[in-house]
Amino acid sequence: MSEYPDAGETTGRVVGRFSGRRVLVTGGASGIGAATCERFAAEGAAVAVLDRDGEGAARTAEAVGGLALVADVRDSAAVDRAVAQAATELGGLTDLVNNAGAGMAKPLLAYTDKEWALMIDVNLTGTFNAIRAAAPVIIESGGGSIVNNASLTGIRPTRGEGPYSAAKAGVLNLTQTAAVELSPMVRVNAVAPGMIRTPLTQVVADNPRWKAAAESGTPLGRMGTAAEVAEVIAFLASDAASYITGQTIVVDGGSVLPSLQSDALLRAVTTGD
């Protein structure tokens, strides 16, 4: 019998839309991953927190009453073992959130072979490794959902993030392929966050000039929060999204909407600026 009983029993979890669900979140030690763990746990799910940062995973797991797992998503054997442990200790697995990722910014032609491989291996291969390991377990548990954290840069290129953007574009295509091949038992969707305030972007938030530049290019006028992305991930995993698969939801405050060329031109035409 699992040591993680259904919501509303002795664990103190609230009864909510994820009661009885068992969720594995990669990259769950901080940022969007930690916020996602908190969102699922707050609504009744049993949560397994996977991260290569063992101390961070343990902190998040303690905060949500979940299970901490240590693995580097680039290591397929380690991911296989972590998924098997999560399934054993949680009594199955119904959902996977692929959040683990790594970023880097430098001119495209300055990237080394090692840096290119790192971006592809963590962001794309790591997502594949987790899907391959978890999908059969989810199907065996009766079906469920997978949500991949892609990026706005996988949809629109970003200067300096060529390998990262290419990997995230691959995640978007992988999301669609998995949605086709794993249906109808598993729904597979993605989120594409823009500039979200997390430990990785704190350097932007702490620099008034950089922060102003980011916010001036966002119609909603601010950076997003990890909790806001977690809400969209939770929606895609929930029964409210039961007829949605293979889709990508952009969470960017509208930053991708303006055309740099026509917006600047029409502003000059209409305002005289």
Residues designated as active site? 164
DSSP character for 200? G
- Fill in the DSSP letter of residue 52: S
For residues 211 and 222, what is the distance between their CA atoms, to the nearest angstrom?
Answer: 9
How far is it, in rounded angstroms, from Cα 109 to Cα 44? 47
CB count in 10 Å sphere of residue 237: 27
d(CA 28, CA 36): 8
Supply the DSSP string of 165-221, one letter for each residue: HHHHHHHHHHHHHHHHHHTTTEEEEEEEE-SEESGGGHHHHT-HHHHHHHHHT-TT-
CB 30 within 8 A of CB 102: no
Q: What angle do CA 35, 64, 136 make, to 5 degrees?
A: 80
